[in-house]
């Protein structure tokens, strides 16, 4: 198996009894089929059922009497938005929705159910997504590279488009639709203005033409200075009438080419990108100018809150809140402010961003990163659902207990008229889409949680494993177990106890010693603040006081070093090396314990994985086994880098029973430098 089919494998059902019982129920697929989306729903059911049952099931216009089949219908009673209902009427299975996309989602839900060989009656029920815009953000560049992409090059073949439309675009759309994703931003937030040109819009339109048939809208990241760079204007000032006119005209042109275009994603005044502040204007001024251009077409502006200034005295943690919270209520109706889950940048563990809850008058969208920029690229096995869920379930206390991040994002807490969740895509041109075969689960889990954030990481892991790897129940349990522990295992050898960002260059190899960069918050020492006294970033009132940005209940949970949960400890406190922690160990011993437990746990992953060999496809099994060997070696690398480096401050021995690293700090640094070479 080359992994291309993702979770849409539709393997023949091995158990003859199950096959026979399904076969009785599925003699036809009936649809009045008056839209591309309905036709694709019927086609997908046909493809799936034919393969799983080993027979040919016809698509018909009206139900066949004396036979049992699937009926696809549209009706307003089936719940709001993209929701669907699956019912039994007599012996027919009826999938109803008020929109054709809902019928498509219901069809995929039924297929998911059958792929797990569950009794048909149990498929009955209703489901509606909790969030309106469920999107992938591709950080893909026009020349085919992907910013922070580890699975080959871009899926989009810009030089061939629009004349040649790769069939893979359809499979991409199927995969997304199967998990309810309904929007995609096709280009990098560090955006090239090229995509807005008359040469490139038809290429984008060709992609949109494929995606539309699966209920997916297409969006573009824009370059804020395009009026100057493309339009030849003297300025890109958002309050300049000529600039506003330019965007209005450009937007009209886009909608002429792509009538259902979704809108713009914007990274502005962030990491060197242009923006309204270049002209003394605010983020709201910039967003509202674009909102005005998009409003006649019901398009939206998704404006990112990922900003921080190169100020050596500032705490980067506080930056997004400081810039955006004062702008609450100043954004136009069709603007969403998209916030990364944590205040810094997609670290293996971060506290939730303090912006969540603090902009009741502005729809806030969530940005998660599926691509493993800070989690071992496509080499390390990290199942991200526990990370997503930890953030979604975090309680902000803004309207009292139970004011979770999920309830902010889904709009229920502040009655947001627009709701949005985005995942920075981990897909690329690799045959298996995501490089590491197990990283497919992160794409899958993102979609499932975007639809329903109450699902558990366990349930999603089991479901994905059954669809993708095996239905053998003891092996499903063993694989899910690896998945559920994998993120904590990575945290243990990478950034335990609330350490963060031990990188400057590659975002892959350990560099906790990095103290030189063009700006202080691009060094590693800025984040961990190791010295002879201790370790960690004091963000309490005696330090940067970033904790002030949270509600008192949250602050109280984190501000006392004695009671702060260990996973967040060094995010908020500078702790003396010898200080005893709630675990009973002192800081140094606890760190060593985690750095040593990490690689040992990777050995456990290897053992568990070896145990499922019999029921997993051999090519996939071998591929993952190889990656786990690499992951172990690199976990040791991380361990040695950290403990040897931190030991220069703590001046304490490695506690028993752990062995001393078999190499020196200089040796580790030399091997890391290889990864930083040009
Ligand atoms: C950082 C990435 C950088 C992105 C940036 C962003 O290192 O490549 O451009 O985030 O989100 O994590 O804009």
Strand order across the beta sheet in which 125-127 lies: 59-60, 29-31, 70-74, 92-97, 84-89, 125-127
The span from the CA of 667 to the CA of 35, in Å, is: 63
Catalytic residue check, 260: no
Model pLDDT, residue 159: 97
Residues paired with 126 in a beta bridge:
85
- Crossing angle between the packed helical segments 36-53 and 16-25, to the nearest 10 degrees: 150
Percent over 70 (pLDDT), the chain: 99
Provide the pLDDT for residue 642: 98
Tokens of 543: 């330090």
- Beta carbons within 10 angstroms of residue 675's beta carbon: 13
75 Cα: distance to centroid of ligand 1 (angstroms):
43
**Rounded-to-integer distance, Cα 612 and Cα 603, Å:** 15
- Options 100, 315, 345, 350, the catalytic residue: 345
Identify which has the larger pLDDT, 264 or 81.
264
Options 3.30.70.580, 1.20.59.10, 3.30.360.10, 3.90.1330.10; CATH for 491-537+574-676 is: 3.90.1330.10
Residue nearest to atom 13 of ligand 1 (CA): 189
The mean per-residue pLDDT over the stretch 420-430 comes to 98
623 lines ligand 1 (CB under 6 A): no
Please give the Cα distance from 598 to 595 (Å, whole number).
5
Query: What is the model's pLDDT at position 616?
Result: 98
Mutate to test the pocket of ligand 1, among 141, 146, 304, 345 (most ligand atoms within 8 A of CB): 345
Q: Do domains 133-456 and 491-537+574-676 have the same CATH topology?
A: no
Q: Which ligand 1 atom is the nearest neighbour of the CA of 340?
A: 11
| 11 given a catalytic annotation | no
Nearest 5°: phi and psi at 94? -110, 125
Compute the average pLDDT of residues 584-593.
98
Residue 330 makes CB contacts below 8 A (sequence gap 6+) with: 282, 284, 288, 362
* Ligand 1 center–CA 189 separation, angstroms: 8
Kindly provide the ipTM of the predicted complex, given to two decimals: 0.99
Question: Does the beta carbon of 506 lie inside 6 Å of ligand 1?
Answer: no
Question: 26: Cβ below 6 Å to ligand 1?
Answer: no
The answer to whether the CB of 389 is under 6 A from ligand 1 is: no
Look at residue 590 and tell me whether its pLDDT is greater than 80. yes
Q: Which atom belonging to ligand 1 lies closest to the Cα atom of 267?
A: 13
Cα separation, 369 vs 175, in Å, equals: 18
Minimum-distance ligand 1 atom for the alpha carbon of 147 = 8
Examine the residue annotation and report whether 322 is marked as an active-site residue of this protein.
Answer: no
For helices 36-53 and 100-115, the axis angle rounded to 10 degrees is 10
367 close to ligand 1 (CB < 6 Angstrom): no
In this structure, the residue with its CA closest to atom 2 of ligand 1 is 148
Q: Is the model's pLDDT at 110 over the cut of 70? A: yes
Query: Can you give the residue ranges of every domain in the chain?
Result: 16-127, 133-456, 491-537+574-676
Atom 10 in ligand 1: residue holding the nearest Cα: 345
484 contacts: CB under 8 Å, gap ≥ 6: 383, 386, 457, 458, 461
Q: Report the separation in Å between the CA atom of 426 and the middle of ligand 1, taken as the mean of its atom positions.
A: 14
Which residue's alpha carbon is at the smallest distance from atom 12 of ligand 1?
345
Measure 138 CA to ligand 1 centroid, in angstroms: 12
Closest to 70 measured CA to CA, from 31, 122, 97: 31
- Domain 133-456 in CATH: superfamily? Glycosidases (3.20.20.80)
Compute the average pLDDT of residues 533-542.
98
Residues 17-73 have pLDDT tens digits of 999 999 999 999 999 878 999 999 999 999 999 999 999 999 999 999 999 999 999
Check pocket membership of 375 for ligand 1, CB cut-off 6 A: no
When pLDDT is cut at 50, 70 and 90, the band that residue 313 belongs to is confident
What CA–CA distance (Å, rounded) separates 152 from 433? Answer: 8
Average pLDDT, integer, range 113-122: 97
- For 67-101, b where at least 16 C-beta lie within 10 A, e where not — what string? ebbbbbbbeeebbeebbbbbeeeeebbbbbbbbbb
User: Could you give the residue ranges of the DSSP H alpha helices within 542-617?
Assistant: 552-559, 569-572, 587-610
What is the length of the chain? 678
CATH of domain 16-127: 3.30.379.10
Question: Using a 6 Å cutoff on CB, does residue 345 contact ligand 1?
Answer: yes
């Amino acid at each position: 198996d080359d992994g291309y089919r993702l979770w849409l494998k539709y393997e023949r059902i091995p158990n003859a009894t199950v096959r026979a019982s399904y076969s009785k129920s599925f003699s036809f697929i009936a649809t009045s089929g008056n839209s591309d989306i309905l036709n694709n729903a019927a086609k997908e059911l046909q493809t799936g059922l034919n393969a799983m049952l080993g027979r040919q099931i016809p698509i018909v216009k009206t139900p066949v009497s004396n036979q049992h089949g699937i009926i696809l219908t549209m009706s307003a009673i089936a719940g709001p938005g993209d929701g669907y209902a699956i019912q039994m009427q007599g012996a027919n299975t009826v999938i109803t929705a008020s929109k054709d996309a809902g019928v498509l989602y219901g069809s995929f839900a039924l297929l998911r159910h059958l792929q797990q060989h569950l009794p048909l009656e149990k498929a009955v029920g209703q489901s509606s997504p909790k969030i309106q815009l469920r999107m992938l953000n591709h950080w893909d560049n026009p020349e085919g590279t992907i910013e922070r992409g580890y699975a080959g090059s871009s899926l989009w073949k810009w030089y061939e488009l629009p004349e040649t439309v790769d069939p893979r675009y359809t499979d991409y759309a199927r995969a997304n639709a199967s998990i309810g994703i309904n929007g995609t931003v096709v280009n990098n937030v560090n955006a090239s203005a090229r995509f807005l040109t008359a040469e490139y819009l038809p290429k984008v339109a060709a992609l949109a033409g494929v995606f539309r048939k699966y209920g997916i809208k297409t969006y573009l990241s824009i370059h804020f200075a395009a009026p100057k760079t493309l339009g030849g204007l003297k300025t890109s000032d958002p309050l300049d009438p000529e600039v506003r006119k330019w965007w209005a005209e450009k937007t009209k042109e886009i909608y002429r080419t792509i009538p259902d275009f979704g809108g713009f994603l914007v990274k502005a005044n962030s990491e060197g990108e242009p923006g309204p502040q270049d002209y003394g204007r605010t983020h709201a001024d910039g967003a509202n100018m674009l909102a005005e251009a998009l409003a006649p077409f019901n398009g939206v502006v998704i404006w990112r809150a990922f900003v921080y200034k190169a100020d050596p005295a500032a705490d980067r943690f506080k930056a997004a809140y400081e810039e955006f919270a004062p702008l609450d209520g100043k954004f136009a109706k069709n603007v969403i402010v998209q916030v990364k889950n944590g205040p810094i940048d997609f670290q293996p563990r971060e506290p939730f961003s303090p912006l969540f809850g603090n902009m009741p008058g502005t729809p806030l969208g969530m940005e998660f990163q599926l691509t493993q920029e800070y989690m071992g690229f496509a080499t390390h096995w990290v199942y991200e659902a526990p990370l997503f869920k930890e953030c979604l379930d975090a309680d902000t206390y803004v309207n009292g207990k139970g004011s979770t991040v999920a309830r902010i994002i889904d709009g229920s807490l502040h009655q947001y008229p627009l709701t949005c969740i985005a995942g920075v895509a981990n897909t690329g041109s690799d045959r298996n889409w995501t490089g590491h075969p197990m990283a497919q689960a992160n794409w899958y889990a993102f979609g499932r949680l975007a639809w329903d954030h109450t699902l558990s990481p366990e349930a999603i892991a089991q479901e994905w494993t059954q669809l993708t790897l095996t239905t053998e129940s003891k092996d499903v349990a063993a694989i899910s177990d690896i998945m559920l522990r994998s993120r904590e295992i990575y945290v243990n050898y990478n950034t335990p106890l609330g350490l963060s960002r031990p990188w400057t260059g590659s975002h892959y190899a350990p560099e906790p010693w990095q103290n030189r960069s063009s700006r202080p918050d691009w060094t590693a020492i800025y984040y961990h603040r190791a010295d002879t006294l201790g370790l960690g970033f004091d963000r309490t009132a005696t330090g940067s006081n970033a904790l002030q940005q949270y509600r008192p209940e949250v602050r109280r949970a984190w501000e006392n070093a004695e009671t702060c949960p260990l996973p967040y400890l060094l995010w908020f406190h500078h702790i003396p090396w010898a200080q005893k922690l709630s675990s009973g160990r002192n800081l140094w011993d606890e760190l060593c314990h985690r750095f040593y437990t990490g690689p040992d746990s990777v050995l456990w992953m290897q053992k568990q994985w070896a145990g499922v060999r019999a029921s997993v496809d051999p090519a996939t099994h071998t591929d993952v086994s190889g990656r786990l060997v690499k992951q172990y070696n690199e976990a040791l690398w991380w361990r040695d880098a950290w403990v040897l480096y931190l030991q220069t401050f703590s001046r304490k021995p490695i506690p028993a029973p752990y062995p001393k690293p078999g190499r020196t700090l200089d040796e580790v640094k030399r091997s890391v430098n290889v990864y930083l070479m040009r």
